[in-house]
């Protein structure tokens, strides 16, 4: 069966970007949620809210008025709602989704991750999701997470924590890691190539299935891990710590 992707938020209540089968079934581009759904006017803009040319990365925004069903305020706190969603840009009234995206030459949107997960490597802004999608396409990869960690020379660097498919032997991990790095180098560029790829049996997740990137970042940087009350399984933190400690011992 064909996979038909889409994009939405808790705040939107329904799809904001979609291939609207039944209205107009557009050609599928694997990994793209296609184009704005009926009632939505989405655009990729720079940090000042100015529209960006197609092919350039930026912030995904929604022009008002909002489509039916979208969040209109926060109960008892209208000002917080306005500050969180509508006042990010000084001179423009745009709804900030908080996501980093790109629109290609055909008008299709591609999501690159949360804007607060964009990492700055030697002045180059990289979406963690674009690196994850390249790495996830490796036939040995079962699950991949990319986070930005501090680096004295480059500001930040991408750190990869991955789960391999069960048939991959431990002896093959080094070869898989090198192949993954080469894939990133060829498809995105040398600047995005991770220094290290750590393999674990399981990624730390909340009970609802969200990967706890802050936990992995804290383990790597030696920071305070913080609250773990929502974690699915405590052992996964130890797995990440053991994998990173093992890698550090080889450096």
State the DSSP string of 142-187: EEEEEEEEEETTTEEEEEEEEEE-TT--GGGHHHHHHHHHHHHHHH
136/106 same-domain check: no
Q: 230 and 207 in contact (C-beta within 8 Å)?
A: yes
| Strand order through the sheet with 6-7 | 6-7, 17-18, 35-36
Average pLDDT score, the chain: 87
The answer, yes or no, to whether residue 59 has pLDDT greater than 90, is yes
| Co-location of 42 and 63 in the same domain | yes
For residue 224, give the 3-state DSSP assignment.
coil
pLDDT at 131 exceeding the cut of 80: yes
Residue 84 lies in domain? 6-115
Per-residue pLDDT, averaged over 96-101, amounts to: 93
131 to 50, 70, 118, 126, 136: CA distances (angstroms):
26, 30, 11, 8, 9
> Is 169 domain-assigned?
yes
Asked whether residue 153 falls in the same domain as residue 35, the answer is no
Q: Residue 190: beta bridge partners? A: none
More confident residue, 163 or 1: 163
Task: Answer whether residue 86 shows pLDDT above 70.
Answer: yes
> pLDDT by residue (tens digit) across 116-125?
778 888 888 8
In a domain, 63, yes or no: yes
Report how far residue 239's alpha carbon sits from residue 55's, in angstroms, rounded to the nearest whole number: 38
Is 0.85 surpassed by the pTM of this model? Answer: no
Least confident of 44-53, 142-151, 162-171, 216-225: 216-225
Confidence label for 148 from pLDDT (cuts 50, 70 and 90): confident
How far apart, in whole angstroms, are the C-alpha atoms of residue 22 and residue 85? Answer: 31
SS3 120: strand
CB environment 116-142: b (16+ within 10 A), e (fewer): ebbbebeeeebbbbbbbbbbbebebbe
The two three-digit tokens of residue 183, written as one number: 């894939």
Structural domain includes residue 1: no
Mean pLDDT within 87-95:
92
- Is 116 a residue of the active site? yes
The average pLDDT across 73-98 equals 93
Which of these, 26, 92, 105, 14, lies nearest to 59 by C-alpha position? 92
Kindly state whether residue 232 falls inside one of the protein's structural domains. yes
pLDDT band at 242 (very low <50, low <70, confident <90, very high): confident
CATH code of residue 193: 3.30.300.30
Question: What is the structure's pLDDT at 67?
Answer: 92
Residues 6+ apart with CB under 8 A from 128: 112, 113, 117, 118, 119, 146, 147, 148, 158
Residue 78, Cα to own-chain centre: how many angstroms? Answer: 29
Residue 251 pLDDT? 42
Whether residue 39 contacts residue 16, with contact meaning beta carbons closer than 8 Å, is answered with: no
* Least confident piece of the model among 98-112, 132-146, 211-225, 227-241: 227-241
pLDDT at residue 234 tops 70? no
| Active-site annotation holder among 46, 106, 116, 238 | 116
246 and 122 within one domain: yes
Q: What is the CATH number of the domain that holds 16?
A: 2.30.38.10
For residue 230, being part of any structural domain is answered with yes
Q: How far is CA 95 from the centre of its chain?
A: 19
Residue 197 belongs to a domain = yes
In terms of DSSP H, where are the helices of the chain?
78-85, 128-136, 173-187, 213-221, 235-250
Evaluate if residue 72 carries a pLDDT over 50: yes
Mean pLDDT of 64-93: 93
């Amino acid at each position: 069966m064909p996979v038909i992707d889409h994009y939405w938020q808790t705040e939107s209540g329904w799809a904001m970007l979609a291939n609207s089968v039944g209205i107009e079934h557009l050609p599928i581009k694997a990994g793209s949620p296609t184009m704005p759904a009926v009632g939505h006017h989405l655009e990729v803009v720079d940090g000042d809210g100015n529209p960006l040319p197609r092919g350039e990365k930026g912030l995904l925004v929604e022009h008002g008025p909002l489509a039916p069903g979208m969040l209109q305020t926060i109960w008892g706190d209208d000002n917080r709602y306005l500050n969180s969603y509508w006042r990010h840009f000084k001179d423009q009234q745009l709804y900030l989704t908080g996501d980093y995206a790109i629109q290609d030459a055909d008008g299709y949107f591609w999501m690159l991750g949360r804007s607060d997960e964009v990492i700055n490597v030697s002045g180059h802004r990289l979406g963690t999701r674009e690196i994850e999608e390249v790495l996830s396409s490796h036939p040995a990869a079962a699950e991949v997470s990319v986070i930005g960690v501090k680096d004295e020379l480059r500001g930040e660097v991408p750190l990869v924590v991955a789960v391999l498919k069960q048939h991959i032997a431990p002896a093959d991990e080094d070869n898989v890691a090198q192949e993954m790095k080469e894939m990133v180098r060829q498809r995105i560029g040398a600047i995005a190539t991770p220094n290290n790829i750590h393999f674990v049996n399981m990624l730390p997740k909340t009970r609802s299935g969200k990967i706890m990137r802050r936990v992995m970042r804290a383990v790597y940087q030696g920071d305070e891990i913080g609250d773990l009350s929502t974690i699915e399984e405590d052992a996964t933190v130890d797995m990440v710590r053991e994998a990173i400690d093992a890698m550090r011992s080889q450096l």
